[in-house]
Structure 1
Amino acid sequence: MSGPLSLWPDQASGYSGEIDLFVIAFTVLIVALSAPVFIVIILFAAKYRRGRPADRGHPQDRNVWLEVSWSIIPFLALIGFFVWSTDLFARLYHPPRDALEIDVVARQWMWKFQHPDGQGEINELHVPAGEPVKLVMASQDVIHSLYIPALRLKQDVVPGRYATLWFNADKPGTYRLACAEFCGTDHSVMVGSFVVQAPAEYARWLQRSTVDRSLAAQGAALFRGRGCSGCHGPASTVKAPPLEGLFGKPVALDGGTTVIADEQYIRDSILLPQKQIASGYPAIMPTFENVLSEEDVLKIVAYIKSLGPGDLTQ
């Protein structure tokens, strides 16, 4: 972990190195474009500080290629940096399909991380080195922002919406994580550790932190306990949308529009059921807002995501 006086954070991923290279290259470009201007200003100020009568009799010297080049070259360089930065930014929104998904709930003033097999941790996140990891994040109260300097990544977590962030940390070690958005009195203590472990060591950590039920199993228990199976179960007499194999599929809505059943759609269907009504079904779904916590909703979402054809139980 970087010391308190470190001027440059450690790099925990290849993406971190790319970001650092971009920052250094862009700094060099800005210095190269601006330094000549300041140098000429200083030279002219020294050379002509006393002033002298201007000779306006000689013809004006012009070099068209020089004048064009000092406009075109910086323009092309900046376009190149725009394409480079866009590529770096766009990659953050396309996680690999096989990425390990970890749920994150932010609340004043702590981070709770929930692994797929049910292991939970507070203000500490363990991940395997060299494997893609996708974080699905929700806020229980106010706006927070997960910041991991060693990854050069920061993502705001806004109440009422899911935020995602993915990375591939390839350098084992313990690094710092923090909230980068002022979120109240104890914002400064909303910090923790980001622990990157070799895959074998991470597997041993999972075994030591084993729990009775996976995240999806906990969601299944909530699904049945809250009466959801009464309408969505296979033996239900109520006409409700089927949930088997739902995640990632298109859903037709009243009004003729279509949405993809992602985490946000499932969350909204639980907490804001009248927001997007599935076509052909009555608007009778009750809201579970102020009944289920964000952590409970994430568990139910994990359960629904795990359902394949015929997997739903009464």
Structure 2
Amino acid sequence: MNFLPEASGFAPRIDGLFYAMLGLSALVVVAVFTTMLVFAIRFRRGRNVDRSGESHRDLGIELTWTLIPFALFVGIFAWSIRLWIDMRTPPGDATTIHVVGKQWMWEFEHLDGQREIDTLHLATGQPVRLVMISQDVIHDVSIPAFRVKQDVLPGRYTQMWFTPTRPGTYNLFCAEYCGTDHSRMGGAVIVQTPQDHARWLASHATGSLAEQGRALFTRYGCAGCHDARSSVHAPRLDGLYGSTVPLADGRQVLADERYLHDSITLPGSEVAAGYAPVMPSYKDRIDEADILALVAYLKVRGTDRETPHASR
């Protein structure tokens, strides 16, 4: 790890924990083998020492070798669990970028509509939250210079976050065997200064992800059932995201990104109360990149963030 740059906010903290555990392990190894060596020399053949095996108990020594390792264990645990919690709790101002893994490439989608293949542009000092899903098999996003990695699963959103701290180009790998060309499934993370990144975003803008989702909503005929003027009795979508949805089986679920995704791909798994389970599944009919755009649109539908010209 000392050959890799520390290019994210987590990198020095993870390296610190790693070296602390390495040092502690080395200390234990030295203590154990030193004790073994001392006893091997002291009780070697021909040495005139007491070998009667009489028990000599010393409460102080017993407490020392019990309590000190216990305290060290608790300290390492507290240190690591605090770091783990921080790595699983993205800040509210983190920029969300959607990631789709597929055999054998990475597709990145920015909220402003920029799409990248096997390359991800980021800005220094800006927290980034990656929301990830797989198109086919299990993949794993690994950025060694950032000291972060996370499995990317089919049919389920996972996430990780970090803050890039050093401009440069860093390797991106798939760290889960995913098929024949797994070793070629890589890419690059390009970290820029905030000014350079703003220029890059402006030069690659193609319409926001929510706008793309609105177009897909029309293309796939979703409005035929979910529009307020439709004669079909289907759940209304305005303001759905973030609300609590009562289900036909008596449960209640939060309408988060997972719920919106499953409502498109597995509509029969959680049927809203008062509605018949008649919606067809779009699993394998819409790729994950388009589902991400639809979810982005549904998240802002009926709010003041919705595209002004979106038809409803």
Compute the displacement of 1:178 (Å): 0.6
Match of 1:248 in 2: 242
Change (3 A) 1:44 1:293: same
Change (3 A) 1:275 1:58: closer
Compute the displacement of 1:154 (Å): 0.5
One-letter amino acid of the structure 2 residue matched with residue 277 of structure 1: V
One-letter amino acid of the structure 1 residue matched with residue 269 of structure 2: K
* Alignment: residue pair count: 308
1:46-195 map, 5 Å: 46-52=41-47, 55=50, 60-195=55-190
One-letter amino acid of the structure 1 residue matched with residue 117 of structure 2: I
Q: State the alpha-carbon separation in 2 of the partners of residues 59 and 22 from structure 1.
A: 42
Contact 1:113 1:122 in 2 (8 A): yes
State the identity %.
47
One-letter amino acid of the structure 2 residue matched with residue 215 of structure 1: L
1:23-62 map, 5 Å: 23-52=18-47, 55=50, 60-62=55-57
Q: State the alpha-carbon separation in 1 of the partners of residues 136 and 56 from structure 2.
A: 66
Compute the displacement of 1:162 (Å): 1.1
**What secondary structure does 2:10 align onto?**
helix
Q: State the alpha-carbon separation in 2 of the partners of residues 7 and 209 from structure 1.
A: 36
Unaligned runs of 5+ in 1: 1-5
Compute the displacement of 1:49 (Å): 2.9
Q: State the alpha-carbon separation in 2 of the partners of residues 51 and 304 from structure 1.
A: 84
Work out which of the residue numbers 217, 233, 236 in structure 1 matches 2:230: 236
One-letter amino acid of the structure 1 residue matched with residue 285 of structure 2: V
Computed over aligned residues only, the root mean square deviation of the Cα atoms, in angstroms, reads: 1.9
1:269-308 map, 5 Å: 269-308=263-302
Match of 2:311 in 1: 313
Determine if the alignment matches structure 1 residue 222 to structure 2 residue 222.
no
One-letter amino acid of the structure 2 residue matched with residue 68 of structure 1: L
Compute the displacement of 1:30 (Å): 1.6
Contact 1:149 1:177 in 2 (8 A): yes
Q: Can you list the C-alpha shifts for 1:244-300, whole angstroms capped at 9, x where unaligned? A: 222222221122212111111111000100001112222111111121011111110
Q: State the alpha-carbon separation in 2 of the partners of residues 41 and 58 from structure 1.
A: 17
Change (3 A) 1:186 1:58: closer
Contact 1:150 1:175 in 2 (8 A): yes
Q: State the alpha-carbon separation in 2 of the partners of residues 238 and 92 from structure 1.
A: 44
Match of 1:21 in 2: 16
Contact 1:234 1:313 in 2 (8 A): no
**What secondary structure does 1:188 align onto?**
helix
Contact 1:174 1:194 in 2 (8 A): yes
**What secondary structure does 2:172 align onto?**
strand
Compute the displacement of 1:51 (Å): 4.6
One-letter amino acid of the structure 2 residue matched with residue 269 of structure 1: S
Compute the displacement of 1:147 (Å): 0.1
Change (3 A) 1:20 1:7: closer
Change (3 A) 1:192 1:57: closer
One-letter amino acid of the structure 2 residue matched with residue 251 of structure 1: V
Compute the displacement of 1:68 (Å): 0.6
Unaligned runs of 5+ in 2: none
Contact 1:229 1:313 in 2 (8 A): no
Using the TM superposition, name which of 294-303 and 86-95 deviates more: 86-95
**What secondary structure does 1:14 align onto?**
coil
Q: State the alpha-carbon separation in 2 of the partners of residues 253 and 285 from structure 1.
A: 15
